[in-house]
Structures are given as structure tokens and as C-alpha cells.
Chain A
Amino acid sequence: MLLSVNAREAWRSLKASKQRTILALLGVIIGIGSVMAMLSVGETVKAKALSEFRQMGTDIISVRKGYTPESTGSSGLNVDDFDQLARFSRNIRETSPEVSTWGKIRAGQAEVDTSIKGVRPVFLGINKLHMASGRFLTSFDDDRSFCVLGDKTYQRLISEGARPPIDEVTLRGLPFQVLGVLGPAELGFRSEEVDSAAFIPLGLADRMGGFEGASRVTVRLWPESDHDAASAEISQLWNKLNQGTSALEIDSPKQLLEQMAKQMRLYTLLLAAVASISLVVGGVGIMNMMLVSVTERRREIGIRRALGAQRADITSQFLVESVILSLVGGIIGIALGVGACFAVSEFNDWTPVVPMDAMGLCLAVAMAVGLFFGYYPARKASHLDVIVALKAE
């Protein structure tokens, strides 16, 4: 009851000195703003990454050649080894090895650089790709001069003057019949790599030469397989097959997520440090403003005390004022932080995520700053000598 009257009067007195109020609040606004921005941008990035990984498929792990001192000579993974691995593993459902190289692709007069990947038919399904036109490679095409173009490769050829439809291309000097064109890939960070490639049958690539073993093997696990167990089993089997001469690097979405979370934690910690410094500065700003306010209102304090206000009444009056002050700063800060998140999202073409619990946290922190830094001025106000206060101008 007294609290609501205090709140109303505090609001009035803050409104009476708007300019000073805003200046005093700058620190809190910046502090809360950066906390809010950091938390909501963090959430946004996390949501974006999660959705990318979900698109990639959570039953997918990606295996690349690891680096060991003995492995310097050979390059790439042995496809046969991998087929053997797939046969023994309880977790692997299917594997899609890729061999790749660089070369020129030519259609009519148009010629562009491209990455040439030798893949198996499962490549399409395992990477959740779709055809924009035509068809993908099948198991009957394994040693034939067939080729499927990535979306960007196709676009670049067209922009270089090739006339659609492109039926034939020359890859590294050899003629290929074009079976179809892929639609844009939705593979997150691998999209670019897939879009700007040309795909030929793995068997053919083997015989063409110039490809250095499998650069990557995408493995699809059985639905009930656990990522960690599958990764462990794959490494173990691999080591047995290769007698430790080469190692594997296994990326699972889960692992990547964990890695990213670790990075985010560091980033969050850094911003939290910045935020807490500006909150302390902001708190001191509030304390300063409240001290000035107490000095200016000594007479009012004296009058209130003469009319029967207890020390606790005066303390709570000024505490309410400083809490309202810091909450106003907090709300402005939250608005700015959310705004910053929207701006960053707009810029990066993300979907902004505003975490509600972060908003609550920010309000709580703002309130705590108001209470903590408002206490000393409020206590000072309540301990003024009433007679001296009444005589103050």
C-alpha cells in the first residue's frame, strides 16, 4: 500500500528530471542491453545451428581422414577399407564415400572450374538432396560416363553462356552425358561444397585416376544407434583394420553441437564480464543520482519524518525510487538488446529468438542493481537529522 504510493511518487519525481534520469541510467542501459543482446543472439545462433544439424540429419556422422605421423604418405581414406568396416559394424546402416578432385568443366563454349566428386547413388538420399531436373546416378551407371551437376555449377555454366538444357559436358577433357541437375543443397556448412560440384560414378572416378582416396565418408547409422558408441566402434574397427597406421576424425552433429556450446560459453563469459562492469558503473550512476536526490530533498524527508514517517518508511521510499530507476534502465536495455538481436539476425538472415527467461533474468539483475546501489543513499536519507533536514533549502 505504502509501496504503491511510493512507486507513484517515485515515478513522478523521476519524470520531473528526465534528462538527469536518462544520463544516470546510461550504464544500466548499456549493461542490461549487452546482457540481453548476448543472450538472445546466443539463442538465435544456437537455434540456427540446431536447425542446420537437423537438416543434415541426426543419424548422420561424417568421417574424415585423421592425421597421424605415419599417415603422411597416403592421402584419403581407402574406400575398400570402409566397405569392410560397414560390413562388420553393428551401427552402420550405409556409407557414402566421396572421392574428389578439381578440374575444368566445359559445356559448349562455357568453361568453369569445379570440384569433381566420385560418389555412389546413396549420396543423394544420405545428404537429403533433391533433383531440380533429370535423375541422379544409379548402381547401373557405375562405370559409365554419366554426370550430375550441382546447382551452382549449372548456374555458372549458364551464366558463362552455355545454352540450357545442358546435355553434355567435358570434364578434364573427357565427354560426359549429363543425367540431371541437383536442387540447392540444405546441408548447412556443406551446402556450398555440394552446390558447386559435379558428380560422377565412384567406380568411374577410380578408373579415371587423379582422385586421392575418399576425402570424406558420410555414414548413416541405424536409428537406434548411439552416436558415441558408433563413433567409438568405428574408430576401434578402423584401427584394427589399419593397424594404427591411419586415424579417423569423426564429426557427429552431437559432437559439433557440444563444440559450439563450448565456444559459446567462452563468448558468453567474455560478454558477461563486459556486462557486469557496465552494470557496476551503471549502479554507481544510480547511486550518484540518488545521493543528489536525497540532498535535494532533505526538506521533504524532514517534513515526512515530522509527520510520523519512520526510518524504514523513508528507506523504502528511496529504495523504491532507485529500483524503479534501474528497472526503467533495464527495460530500455532489454528493448535495445532485443533490437540488436533483430538487427544481427536480419543482417545474417537468421530467425531471431528472444529467450523469455533471459528477459526475466535481466529484469531481476536490474532490480538487484537498484536495490544494492540504492541502499546506501536510502539509508542516508532515513538517518538524516530531522531538525537539520527541516531547515534545509
Chain B
Amino acid sequence: MSAVLAQENAADHPLLRLRGITRSFMMGGVELPVLRGVDLDVLGGDFISVLGSSGCGKSTLLNIIGLLDKPTSGQYELDGTPVTELDDVAISRLRNQKIGFIFQNFNLLARLSAAENVELPLLYRGMTASARRERALEYLDRVGLADRADHTPTQLSGGQQQRVAIARALVAEPVILLADEPTGALDTKVGRDIMDLFKGLNREKGLAFLMITHDVQLSKEAGRRLRMADGMLREAEGPGAVDNAA
């Protein structure tokens, strides 16, 4: 399902719907609550930043939203599908089709070329080699790296690597892009370009973004700004729909 379609259905159900999400870790026999009941609705076209200091639980929240982790309690619906009870195969499939990840350190596979990196999500979808290649090149072109398709990550600059990572996230045509300090490893100028690319994608394609950062300036780029503290999510000041029932 494309992001655009999700936006049209926004009235029926939000893209993401989190209710009472908690997550605790066991540390030396002591239960350590990291998330203490997070409620969040994300609509199609949302550009959300979550600001918080390190250890506040924003990464844990991102992992739960990205289906890498399961909440201790609470309800989570992704694009209309309740995900808390799904098995690994269904979770992997959902992750493959609905979620795009952007990491601080890019997380490209060093042995693979840029195009092969971009092809990865399609590979796990069972697409044929020629179709994969075609789509990968199309998305590399979209991030301005058509001429770097056969370069390995080490042959690319940091900004180029993050663009490849973005192409890899986009090629799956997810409903939401989850970014963890996407400009953290880049210098200011290049970071600026990457943010402009995100904003362009959000504006033109209506692709939803959720970005976590500890950088206040960066968080201000978002249309909707949230702040995470003490395992709770609160609306920060600024424009955007207020939808936090906490």
C-alpha cells in the first residue's frame, strides 16, 4: 500500500496507532521501565521529530515502531494491522513492506555495491533480479546517485552513503520512514542536504517521517515536534496537530 493511499484513508485509521505502549528491561533481576505508556497516532504525510536526551527511551520507541522490538504491554496497529501478536514471519514481512529505516551510521553492507544495497528489501520480497536492478537504479536516480550504482560504500562519501541508505529505504515503498539521527554522522552542509531531501519527499510524495534526535535544531525541522522524557511522549511547542492523549 502506498503512502498516498494511506493518506486518503487517514480518516479511517491512522498509519500508526500506539496505545499505552510500555517496555521494561530486566537488569540484574530488577525491572527497569523504559517506556511508561506511550500513545501516538501518526497520519499519512506527518513529519514528526522526537526529541530526547540519550537513554530517554526514544530508540526503544523507534525499535517498537519499526517492529524490531515488542512492547511489554500496549497496543500497536501498523497501517490497520494489530502487530503485537504476530509471529516472526509476519513481522518480517510487515517490516519489509511498510517500514523504511534510516540509520545514523547508514548501515550499508560493505561488500555490496550501492545498487545491491538498495536491492536488499526487494530481494526479501522475492522479486526477480532484473526487476530488482531496475527499481534500485530508479531510486538511486531519485537520490541523485544514478552514476554511483556500482560503487561500494567505501568508495562513497558520508552524504552519498546516506543517500544510498535513503534509496534503500524508499525502494520498498514503505508507509513510514523511521530515521535515527539521520544527519548525526554528517557535516552541517551535507546534513542540510539530507534534511531537504527528506522534506521534499514528505511534501511531494506525502511520505510520513518519524525522526528521533537529541539535536534541538534538527527537531525544529519537523512539522510536528514531540519530546520524550521519563518514558513518556509529550507534544513540544510548535506547529502541527496535537494528538497526544498522554
Chain A residues in the interface with B (C-beta under 8 A):
1-2, 4-5, 9, 12-13, 16, 299-300, 302-313, 386-387, 390
Of the residues A5, A16, A308, contact of B121 by C-beta under 8 Å = A308
B68 within 8 A of A: yes
Of the residues A302, A304, A387, contact of B120 by C-beta under 8 Å = A304
Q: Output the residue of A16, A303, A304 with the most chain B CB within 10 A.
A: A303
B38 to chain A, nearest CB (A): 17
Residues of A within 8 A of B129 (CB): 1, 4-5
Whether B88 contacts A308 by the Cβ 8 Å rule is: no
Given A2-B123, A2-B124, 5 other A-B residues pairs in contact with their CB atoms under 8 A? A9-B111, A302-B107, A306-B107, A307-B101, A387-B69
15 pairs of residues in contact across A and B, judged by CB atoms under 8 Å: A1-B128, A2-B126, A4-B129, A5-B129, A9-B112, A300-B109, A304-B109, A307-B96, A307-B168, A307-B172, A308-B121, A309-B92, A310-B124, A312-B89, A390-B68
Residues of A within 8 A of B120 (CB): 303-304, 307
B1 to chain A, nearest CB (A): 15
Residues of A within 8 A of B44 (CB): none
Known: A1-B129, A5-B123, A387-B68. A310 touches B111 (CB 8 A): no
Whether B124 contacts A308 by the Cβ 8 Å rule is: yes
Q: Which residue of B lies closest to A299 (CB)?
A: B107
CA distance A308 to B123 in the complex (A): 9
Known: A308-B124, A310-B124. A386 touches B172 (CB 8 A): no
Known: A9-B111, A13-B111, A299-B107. A310 touches B126 (CB 8 A): no
CA distance A302 to B68 in the complex (A): 10
Q: Indicate with 1 or 0, residue by residue over B111-122, a CB within 8 angstroms of chain A CB atoms.
A: 110000000110
Whether B124 contacts A306 by the Cβ 8 Å rule is: no
Chain B residues in the interface with A (C-beta under 8 A):
63, 66, 68-69, 88-89, 92-93, 95-97, 101, 103, 107, 109, 111-112, 120-121, 123-126, 128-129, 168, 172
Whether A303 contacts B124 by the Cβ 8 Å rule is: no
Q: Output the residue of B121, B124, B129, B172 with the most chain A CB within 10 A.
A: B124
Q: Output the residue of A12, A299, A308 with the most chain B CB within 10 A.
A: A308
A358 to chain B, nearest CB (A): 36
CA distance A2 to B120 in the complex (A): 10
Q: Which residue of A lies closest to B60 (CB)?
A: A387
Residues of B within 8 A of A4 (CB): 129
Residues of A within 8 A of B96 (CB): 307-309
B79 to chain A, nearest CB (A): 15
CA distance A1 to B132 in the complex (A): 12
Of the residues B109, B126, B172, contact of A303 by C-beta under 8 Å = B109
A162 to chain B, nearest CB (A): 79
CA distance A313 to B103 in the complex (A): 22
CA distance A311 to B95 in the complex (A): 13
B29 to chain A, nearest CB (A): 19
CA distance A55 to B121 in the complex (A): 68
Q: Which residue of A lies closest to B107 (CB)?
A: A303
